[in-house]
Amino acid sequence: MRDNRAVNDAVHPSPESVPVTLSDTSGGAGGPRRHRTGSRLYPRVTSFRSRRGALTPNQQKSWDRTWPLIGREVADEPLDADAWFGRPAPLVIEIGCGTGTATAEMAQAEPHLNLIGIEVYQPGLAQLVQRIERDEIGNIRLLRGDAVDVLENMIAPGSLTGVRVFFPDPWPKARHHKRRLLQPATVALIADRLRPGGVLHVATDHADYAEHIAAVGAAEPLLVGLNETTGGVSAQHRESAPIGFERPVTKFESKAHRAGSAINEFIWGKIE
């Protein structure tokens, strides 16, 4: 079972939480690692595997120019998003933005939103940095690191207008299911960080993960279904929702289409 104590603690602080020793702080690539929440350290199984990848010379130049302006490493202190963006605006995060095709298009389609892309994979972020430079997109900021850390430590309860999770790693083998990002505790954490009426939008091309996500979302008491997959009627919510329900087709999704996989789209709203 996934060890979600750190996640649970962020939503429901509990005196029973068991601190672990200070040794073994790395845990190796994608393996369990010691995780700090406040003054305590916990082991956590991550939803990603560390992947190395070099930047091309052009990506590196773009990164050196622009990352200091729009990017930050994940930290364990609260984020002042309005100050970072230089304006107050509804805040949307995208977890695992990959190379950022959807991030960039959605940010351009929704200039009134502040959008933060969170990703652990630097070459993916570097592609997005290039696109942001090229298209002069002003409403995206980027965080490099584990999105669960971001939700736990950087984002205040009730402060997000939207959370997008497009094609989270499905971890298809049963022994890896504990690595899946969308577990009850993470979804509870997301729901806690959403403001009333805020939207969680998830898409997956993996049938088994889709079933799991449907069950986890349905069991989260703070969320109600806004589209047909989640038991709602999208036509009733599409116009009034604070973020768009449309989603551009990414390269990743095109591959899934070619492989004949069905895309399942889940849209929930936080109870008002």
Note whether 250 binds ligand SAM by CB under 6 A. yes
47 binds ligand SAM (CB under 6 A): yes
For residue 83, with 0-12 CB atoms within 10 Å meaning exposed, 13-18 middle and 19 or more buried, which class applies? exposed
- 10 Å CB burial of residue 14 (0-12, 13-18, 19+) is exposed
User: How buried is residue 243: exposed, middle or buried, by Cβ count under 10 Å (0-12/13-18/19+)?
Assistant: buried
* Alpha-carbon distance values, 12 to 60, 66, 190, 218, 231 (Å): 41, 38, 13, 20, 28
Per the annotation, the verdict on 82 as an active-site residue is: no
Closer by beta carbon to ligand SAM, 184 or else 197: 184
The interface mask with ligand SAM, positions 156-195, x = CB under 6 A, is ----------xxxx-----------x--------------
Smallest distance from ligand SAM to CB 205, Å: 9
- Residue 140: CA count within 13 A, CB half-sphere: 28
Site string for ligand SAM, 129-158 (x = CB under 6 A): -----------------xxx----------
Smaller CB separation from ligand SAM, 21 or 175: 175
Binder among 119, 152, 192, 205 for ligand SAM (CB under 6 A): 119
Q: Establish if 42 lies at the interface with ligand SAM (CB under 6 A).
A: no
> Is the CB of residue 156 less than 8 Å from the CB of residue 77?
no
Asked whether position 97 contacts ligand SAM by CB under 6 A, the answer is yes
Query: Among 3, 24, 169, 208, which one carries the catalytic annotation?
Result: 169
Please say whether the beta carbons of 116 and 91 come within 8 A.
yes
Task: List residues bridging with 181 in a β-sheet.
Answer: none
List contacts with ligand SAM (CB under 6 A).
Answer: 47-48, 95-98, 102, 118-121, 124, 146-148, 166-169, 181, 250, 252
